[in-house]
A and B are shown apart, each in its own frame.
Chain A
């Protein structure tokens, strides 16, 4: 059942709660070494799916393999030593400093990263002596990430990792995640930010109502590559818009018709967010 090329394999995963079906039989594969993003509106079943894969929740049906084993049926300690988890919002360890928390948790793993290196990597050097309760939302999140990567995980789960970050902190976080990928870490993330998925993910899945709508790459999701280009420009004080499959041709013709500089010219393809909203809009 263990496979060298996939870190996570999911077949027909089912999970129901008393009043609703959270996960309605999904199939999913995350390849070793890739960053895989799980997208979807609130209540789509993302967190339930991820928590089953993390070994937090039981399932009602289907088979899963995470790093070659079934989390529900394994030597939990040895398996947990190989994964890292960054949960959604936490508020524990309020009385402890960044440094104290990180060096304490390092003692849980067989082969932890260097504490100073981790603090530096998540950008908390200046806050190393600050207590949990003194950290801003974004700094707290970085502490969560530090604890997630501390054990040198082969597989890292990130549940909405950059919620509450300012734009600069998000860029720095993205660099950190790319660095982890370069080091060979497989990453499964959920996010609400489409630009984040586009910047980081090798592949992504859109989940809605407990089902997976599509698995693709950011460039190809929802027929994005085949979508018409939008050419917009101004002429005689009026703005114009043209949707076309051949934007180069169109701009050439426009140029020779107008002669010289075309005012406010812009050629664009729908971004990931446009595509995503269109996809879930059809379903909701």
Chain B
């Protein structure tokens, strides 16, 4: 019966990724809300705060960097920490566990979904930002290379931490109430909605423990002029420190996800 070989973990994972995208796209309300939410916030904040926060730097420019960073946390951490408990409730996970598909294939599928959803959000955010608020986009490869590695580390750490945190909510119904406040508070503390250096120092220190602060800083290094680096807390973008923190969180997320992941209630 089983002479032929089992499909590889990666192959099943990729096919799960396509399935996840298909399922996501069919929930129309959540598609519109998830993909356009960053744009919506940009419209609100862009209309309220019209001043420059530094010579030649508009608040909108600052905000786009923050919104891309917090989009990673919303899409990776928040979405997964809410939808995985729901899939635990509705039997998706139990059924999967009864098949030869390994847990890692399920994780790979989630990472693909987060990657695609995130890419669409970034593209929409940049298009609206450029058209409506004259956001400038980096034109040299060095900034785009920074963009890519910050995105990737953000994607990995946030997805893995979302999987790990999915074991905390007792049920799918209560998950949103547990997860959302954490994310909103982190967004305020990490300088997404306000200029980070204007926050009280205890808030800055608290935020520096978590990945979102480093993600926003990394995205500022991509989207803000290099002259703005002098106004950061350390007087520079601290790219090395950003890579280190996001790297540590990714590794921690990997082990936490493996250790705490639960198939059943």
Contact = CB atoms under 8 A, between A and B. Distances in A.
Interface string A122-162: 00000000000000000000000001000110100000000
A85 interface: yes
Chain A interface residue number, banded: 20 to 34
B251 interface: no
Contacts of A95: 22-23, 26-27
Interface in B1-31: 1-7, 11-12, 15-16, 19, 22-23, 26-27
Interface stretch (A106-114, A201-209, A213-221): A106-114
A85 B98 contact: yes
A93 B4 contact: no
A69 interface: no
Interface stretch (A11-19, A74-82, A256-264): A74-82
Given A81-B2, A82-B2, A91-B90, A109 B95 contact: no
B240 interface: no
Given A107-B7, A111-B2, A90 B95 contact: yes
The SS class assigned to the B binding surface is loop
B98 A78 contact: no
A54 interface: yes
B92 A110 contact: no
A107 to B, nearest CB: 5
Given A96-B19, A154-B1, A78 B91 contact: no
A87 interface: yes
A85 B94 CA distance: 10
A80 B19 contact: no
Given A81-B2, A104-B15, A92 B99 contact: no
B91 A96 contact: no
Contacts of B41: none
B87 interface: yes
A90 B94 CA distance: 9
Contacts of B243: none
Given A78-B6, A90-B91, 13 more contacts: A56-B94, A78-B100, A81-B6, A81-B100, A89-B91, A90-B90, A93-B23, A93-B92, A95-B22, A95-B26, A108-B12, A109-B100, A111-B4
13 contacts: A56-B264, A77-B100, A87-B95, A91-B90, A94-B90, A95-B23, A108-B7, A108-B12, A108-B99, A109-B6, A109-B100, A110-B6, A151-B100
